[in-house]
Structures are given as C-alpha cells and as structure tokens.
Amino acid sequence: MKTKVKFKSVYKTFELHAKKSEKILNLFSMSKKKGKEFLALKDISFEIFEGETVGLVGLNGSGKSTVSNILAGVIQPSTGHVEINGETSLIAISAGLNGSLTGIENIELKCMMHGLTKEKIKEITPTIVEFADIGNYINQPVKDYSSGMKSRLGFAISVHTDPDILIIDEALSVGDSTFTQKCLNKMDEFKEQGKTIVFISHSAGQMKEFCDRVIWLHYGTVKETGSSTEVVENYQNFTKWFNKLSDADKRAHKQEMISTQVSEQVEKESKRNHRPIFNINFLKNIVVLTPVIVLGVLMLTSY
C-alpha cells in the first residue's frame, strides 16, 4: 500500500509571550530568552495509507486541529518530518466564504482559487448548488446565511474541487441530520474511489461506522492507534471515567496534564553554527544596497 501521509516525531510549539514585542525580537532571533512554550504536539508519529479513512479523536485542546492544520499546510511543524503525497483539502466549519458576495459568486471564487479552469467551474457549479441545497438563497449575499447554510455551502464547494486527501474537521456537526447523511454518503463515494480521508469528529457513532482506523490524541501525544471500534471504546471509557471524577479531581487532572505541555525554555539553541551563511547573506545585502546609497548621496549633493 502506498503511504499518503507520514508524520515522523512531529512537534508543534506555540510560544507564549507576555508582550507582543518579544514576539518580534524572537522573529529576528535577537532575543536569547525564549520564554514559555506550549507543546501542542509532542512527538507525534503515524502513517496513513492510500484509500484509508482515519479518524482523530481526543478532548478539546488535544491537538486534533493542529494535526489537521499541518496536514492542510496551513501551519508548519516546529520540528520533525511531515510527508504528504497528494493534494489535501481541508473542510472546516469556518469555510472562509466572502460575506458580501452571493453564494454563486463564492462558488466561482473558491473554485478559481483552487485552480480550476473556467469551463470546469461552469460544469460543476450546478452540482455544487444541488448538493448544498439551500434553495433561492444561493443568489443572496453569504452574510445573510444561517451558520448551517454557510457550512453546507462550504462543504459542498470543498468536496467538489476533486481533492486527493480530504480532511474533515468537525464540519459535519453543524448541519442537520439530513445533510449529515448526505455528506456521509458523499464520503462513502470518496472511499469507493479510493481517496484518503482524515475525519475529525466527536461523534462516536460516525467514527465507528466510518473509519478504518482511529488515532486517539491525548494532550499532544498519540495515546492509542488501532481499529476504530477498539480505540473509540477505550476513548469512551476514558471520558466516562473522567466525568465521574469530582470537580476538584477533574481540575487537578487537567492541570497535571497541561503542565507537561508547558515548558520553560530559557536559552534558545545557539545560532552560531549558521554564522558563515549569515555572512554571505550579509554580503549580498550590501551589494544590493550600495548602489541605492551611492546614487542617493550623489543626488543629494548634485546642486
């Protein structure tokens, strides 16, 4: 089987800055102090094969969306290696539609940005309109849509841009059950076509029914990988156990887990070994800047 996605010890850290200015200093690596870091992903490794449907479960803040964003190329991992063979398409609730344009115009714009030709867009627009099924509202500006309508349109557009790897990030949870069924049918169709799907949802039923394998993310680490029924059941048992705890225990448990994710890194790794490259760069910059300065000075003195 061909590997479609490969994560190899991927870390993603978010820097926690007290002040905005620290962020800037860090950007130009002028500050040695790095401040606190939050490890959203800690040493994540997994593989997804062609034609597989893989589910991601976990509590809020366990890193599901971070993984899906890395898959879609929205953000980059801090360290580690990510290999993606194919085009990914992320379907999230915030579908990124332009509020002042009508539904039809949004379809055209988004398809255009996905790199579809004019003819192809004309061809698939009726299919998208039919799939979204929002009636005459399709000719109204999107800002007048309800949240359900927005996600229906967003989902309809995304699935029709012919993605290779589909990432569905809780996009199905807003629609009503009739639309969810429609989406699930569409996903079945994708499965039959041998497409790879990464599915993020809180619905245990959908997970079991739909996924071949499930990855359980727990506070930034992979807790368990395996067949969907097994992992989902273990996850459900965990949530049941957690819900039974007293409020104080819950808080203590959360606090303990999150504290493992925050690291106090004082010294930044030395950049000194990059010194020679920096020097060549510096030289190039001087070469480009010199004519500007020389000609500028000549201009100032030429009167």
Partner 1 sequence: MNMFKSIRQVIKEQIMHINLIYRMAAFENRGMYQIHYLGSLWQFLNPAIQVAIYWFVFGTIRGGAPVDGTPFFLWLIIGLIPWFFISPSIIQGSNSIYQKIGLVSKMNFPVSLLPTIRIVGNSFQFFIMLGILVIIDLFYGIKPSIYNIQFLYYLICLYAFLFSFSILSSTVSTLVRDYQVALQSLMRMLLYVSPILWNTSLITETFTTYGPLIENILKLNPLFYILEGFRDSILGRAWFFEDLLYTGYFWALTFALLYFGTKIHMRFRKNFMDYM
Find the part of the chain contacting partner 1 (CB under 8 A) among 56-64, 124-132, 213-221, 284-292: 284-292
DSSP characters for 143-184?
A: GGS-HHHHHHHHHHHHHTT--SEEEEESGGGSS-HHHHHHHH
Query: Which residues, 57 to 116, sit near partner 1 by CB under 8 A?
Result: 69, 72-76, 87, 89-90, 92, 94, 96, 98, 100-101, 105, 108-109, 112-115
Q: How far is the CB of 62 from partner 1 (least distance, A)?
A: 20
Q: At 246, which amino acid appears?
A: S
Q: Is 49 exposed, middle or buried (0-12, 13-18, 19+ CB in 10 A)?
A: middle
- Rounded least distance, CB 218 to partner 1, Å: 24
Q: What whole-number distance in Å separates Cα of residue 129 and Cα of residue 218? A: 39
> What is the end-to-end Cα distance of the chain in Å, rounded?
75
Site for partner 1 contains 120 (CB under 8 A): no
Q: Is 170 in the site for partner 1 (CB under 8 A)?
A: no
Alpha helices, DSSP H, located in the chain: 20-27, 64-72, 103-113, 118-132, 147-159, 177-192, 204-210, 228-244, 247-259, 275-301
- Interacting residue with partner 1 among 35, 61, 80, 141 (CB under 8 A): 141
Q: How far is the CB of 290 from partner 1 (least distance, A)?
A: 9
Question: Do 165 and 87 meet the contact criterion of CB atoms below 8 Å apart?
Answer: yes
Q: Which is nearer to partner 1, 70 or 232 (CB)?
A: 70
Contact 174, 91 (CB under 8 A): no
Choice between 28 and 241, CB closer to partner 1: 28
Over the window 220 to 259, marking each residue x when it contacts partner 1 by CB under 8 A and - when it does not, the resulting string is ----------------------------------------
For residue 11 the two structure tokens come to: 């870390």
Q: Give how many residues touch partner 1 by CB under 8 A.
A: 39
Q: Which is nearer to partner 1, 9 or 290 (CB)?
A: 290
Residue 51 · residue 192 · CB < 8 Å: no
Binding site for partner 1 (CB under 8 A): 23-24, 27, 69, 72-76, 87, 89-90, 92, 94, 96, 98, 100-101, 105, 108-109, 112-115, 141, 284-285, 288-289, 291-292, 295-296, 298-300, 302-303
